[in-house]
Amino acid sequence: MNTEELSKEQQILRLMRKTLGNVVRDVTPLGGRANPLTDSTIQDIKDCFGLISEREKELAEILNFDQAKPYYADGEKPNSNVISFVKPSKEE
């Protein structure tokens, strides 16, 4: 598979993700109305998003894309501190 074919596949995946997301957004019920989609259809949509994501990762690995999160070009990589929040117990 050459770079041109991969690029075309990436475009297809991107458009499929966007279109599927728009369909979900369009059929999402407002204000407590019943969802028009069945549970199996909702699961199928989730599975499609998962498969699209997996294939995009595979293509990124094939093309040696940097999977790291972007950072400012001033040379400093962002450092992060994970903070755990503990819910206080209710004492009465």
Q: What is the pLDDT of residues 3-17, one digit of tens each?
A: 676 688 889 999 999
- How are the residues of the chain apportioned to helix, strand and coil, as percentages rounded to the nearest 5? 55, 0, 45
The tens digit of pLDDT for each residue in 41-85 reads 999 999 999 999 999 988 888 877 766 666 667 766 667 777 888
Mapped onto helix, strand or coil, the DSSP state of residue 80 is coil
Residue with tokens 């979900």: 24
Contact assessment for residue 54 and residue 33, using Cβ atoms and an 8 Å cutoff: no
The arithmetic mean of pLDDT across residues 21-50, rounded, is 92
From residue 34, how far is each of 5, 24, 28, 31, 43 by CA, in Å? 42, 14, 9, 9, 17
User: Cα–Cα distance between 56 and 67 in angstroms, integer?
Assistant: 11
Residue spans of the domains in the chain: they are 1-92
